[in-house]
Amino acid sequence: MAGYHQEGPKSARMYEVILPKKLGYFGKVQEVLEDLFNEDAIRKIPFVKRTILDHRKADQAFDEEGWIKTLCRASRGYSIYEMDGRYLSPNGPVDERVLVIRFIFHNEGSDTAVQQAEFFAVSLAVVNHLVAHRFAEELGVEDEIWFLEYTHTQLAIWRKDAAGANADEESDR
């Protein structure tokens, strides 16, 4: 039987981007989310271009390559689910199905408080600007796109022991 050990709990951040679910949005949703794993696509985003220029003005030694790699490393994945809800508009109650894109960030690197704070600042920028803001700008038709940040999140991971994995392989033979 495989053995597991618990890592954590460790600090994490969870973000959700909520937008109306419409068939016409699926292509843009896929494009925006796939761009999170592509350094060249990230470099083309206007927010990223502006941020790089601002950093260069403030610090000639700014490590653009390292910063872009950190953005890519921060966005290692996401989950998508649907939610039905009702909200009160000026014209009365409206029933709506929304798409929720969830991101959970935890720094697998160093655990120093400064490095954690820097990583979480980057994670905030990734989701707020590379996802939520892009949807707002590029879809351009919704009155609101919601962005939620859960700050005091704790993450525990149950990871299979290396020795347990080898024992499983032996018993399968």
- For 30-80, the pLDDT digits (tens) are 988 888 888 888 888 887 888 888 888 988 888 888 878 777 777 678 899
**pLDDT reading at 149 higher than 60:** yes
Question: In which element (H, E) is residue 157 found?
Answer: strand 146-160
5-14, 76-85, 150-159 — most confident range: 76-85
Does residue 163 sit within a domain? Answer: yes
Gap between the terminal Cα atoms of the chain: 14
- DSSP annotation of 143 reads S
Percent helix, strand and coil across the chain, each to the nearest 5: 45, 35, 20
Which residue, chain included where needed, has tokens 């920028």? 125
Does residue 5 sit within a domain? Answer: no
Phi-psi region of 140 (alpha: psi -120 to 50; beta: other; left: phi over 0): left
**pLDDT reading at 82 higher than 90:** yes
Q: Do 127 and 36 touch, CB atoms closer than 8 A? A: no
User: What integer pLDDT is reported at residue 95 of this predicted model?
Assistant: 93
**pLDDT reading at 92 higher than 90:** yes
Which residue, chain included where needed, has tokens 């290396």? 162
Does residue 39 sit within a domain? Answer: yes
**pLDDT reading at 168 higher than 70:** no
Q: How many domains does the chain have?
A: 1
Confidence tier at 93 by pLDDT (50, 70, 90): very high
Does residue 156 sit within a domain? Answer: yes
**pLDDT reading at 122 higher than 80:** no
Q: Do 75 and 62 touch, CB atoms closer than 8 A? A: no
Instruction: Please compute, for residue 133, the number of CA atoms within 13 A of its CA located in the half-sphere on the CB side.
Output: 11
Residue 26 domain boundaries: 10-172
Query: How much of the chain exceeds pLDDT 90, in percent?
Result: 10
Distance CA 133, CA 146 (A): 10
What are the DSSP E strand ranges found in 63-134? 79-89, 92-105
pTM of the model: 0.73
Q: Is 6 helix (H, G, I), strand (E, B) or coil?
A: strand
Mean pLDDT value of segment 105-127: 71
Tokens of 22: 């419409």
Does residue 3 sit within a domain? Answer: no
